[in-house]
Amino acid sequence: MTGELEAQAYGVLATLAALLLLLVTGGVIYLTVVEWRDKRKRTQEALDSRTPVRKRQGQKKDQRKDPKKDKKKDKKKDSKKGQKSV
């Protein structure tokens, strides 16, 4: 009789161990999926909240200054200053 009781106890313990293993595995899978989904959502929100380059600069395309022209103007000003002081 003790042999049958012992075998039955081992069977119950093995079943409980398998159920706990499935429960923990399911929890890990659930948490992984939730984190993956949240990360994807945060990334998409970050992409959506970005402002286009034109809006960030605060100028329209026609209003942008040409750096080459600015350098030429600065050189002309410098040369005029040098001529006046002489």
Give the pLDDT score at 51: 77
Residue-range definition of the domain harbouring residue 29: 20-50
Considering only CA atoms, give the Rg of the chain: 37
Give the pLDDT score at 60: 57
Asked if residue 62 belongs to a domain, the reply is no
Residue spans of the chain under pLDDT 70: 53-86
Number of domains into which the chain is organized: 1
Cβ(73)–Cβ(66) under 8 Å? no
Asked if residue 64 belongs to a domain, the reply is no
Q: What is the pTM of this model?
A: 0.51
Cβ(31)–Cβ(25) under 8 Å? no
Give the pLDDT score at 84: 55
Cα dihedral 26/30/36/39 (nearest 10) = -150
Give the pLDDT score at 86: 46
Asked if residue 59 belongs to a domain, the reply is no
